[in-house]
Structure 1
Amino acid sequence: MNRPKISQMEAYMIETLRTNGITNEEIIHDVKEKDVSKWKQINEKFDFEQLIVLAEKDFSAFEQVINEGYAVKFVTVGGLERLLRLKFQKEAGEDYQKLETGAKGLKLDEASFRDLEQMLSLNWKVEEDEQGISVLLKEQKDFV
């Protein structure tokens, strides 16, 4: 299944809301009502209005993002670390070894592994071995 693509920042906002107990239904409802002001208390640095803009482009795609998942257009190494923490509650040093080009030794259940694979942009390679999951930046020549 092809998941709708969103920005790394949009993914941060969605996962931050979820981490703070906001349900998918509440996200969809509040965005549909264009009332995201109460989320400011969760993270005052985020412009949650961006989620309204995203939904206005294609509301059914927005609902799919919230209910079924998404792919991130482009993920940086720092972005990977933040997404692992927000979406999967995984911390560098505890749950995986942080590398300059990604992460290794990550432990995820099968559903989360598939979710991670589908979520990451094309500049990432996700592999599994006996040490766990490795998520590494592809070399530039691999995806040009």
Structure 2
Amino acid sequence: MAISMMEAYTIEVLKAHPYTFEQVKHHLENDNLQFFKKDYNMDFDLLKTLIKENPQQFKRAFEGDYEVKFVTINGLKNLLRMRFGITEAQYELLETGNGLRKLRVSPGTEQQIRKMLSSNWKVERNDETITLFV
């Protein structure tokens, strides 16, 4: 499922709370967005629309099976932190500012990152690290 950067942020924030998928689904389907707004100042209508369009795809997205439609470098850094716990101390920015390098991740995490990134991003493995760039 291809989602926006804000939808990805919102999903990752809710997962970190931690809300279960069933809790999120219940409150979105029952239009009880105030349940989330008491803790976060975010647009939960985005997720309400997603779950109405395709509940099964939304569930997969909540489980981490999503691609972000357009990823900026700052968006990438935020998603790496939110989703994988990867901080700026774990990689170097490319001199051109269009990517990062020397990120040491497991093959499983690498595959999740590859799947998450929009098609304009490239991922290259260099021995023990990966480089992500546009």
Report the TM-score, using the length of structure 2 for normalisation: 0.89
Aligned equivalent of 1:140: none
Task: Output aligned runs, 1:1-144, within 5 Å.
Answer: 4-44=1-41, 46-67=42-63, 69-92=65-88, 94-99=89-94, 100-137=97-134
* Contiguous gaps of at least 5 residues in structure 1: 138-144
> How many equivalent pairs are there?
132
Shift of 1:27: 2.2
Q: Deviations over 1:13-35 (max 9, x none)?
A: 00111122222332233222322
Give the conservation status (yes or no) of the 8 Å contact 2:68–2:116.
Answer: yes
Q: Matches of 2:91 and 2:22 in 1, distance apart?
A: 32
Counterpart amino acid of residue 70 in structure 1 = Y
Residue range with higher mean Cα deviation, 24-33 or 13-22: 24-33
Q: What SS is found at the alignment partner of 1:103?
A: strand
Residue range with higher mean Cα deviation, 83-92 or 27-36: 27-36
Query: What is the RMSD computed on CA atoms of the aligned residues?
Result: 1.6
Report the TM-score, using the length of structure 1 for normalisation: 0.83
Give the conservation status (yes or no) of the 8 Å contact 2:104–2:130.
Answer: yes
* Contiguous gaps of at least 5 residues in structure 2: none
Q: Matches of 1:129 and 1:42 in 2, distance apart?
A: 41
Counterpart amino acid of residue 53 in structure 1 = T
Q: Deviations over 1:79-110 (max 9, x none)?
A: 11111111111111x11112311111112222
Structure 1 vs Structure 2: percent identity of aligned residues? 33
Shift of 1:50: 1.1
Counterpart amino acid of residue 98 in structure 2 = T
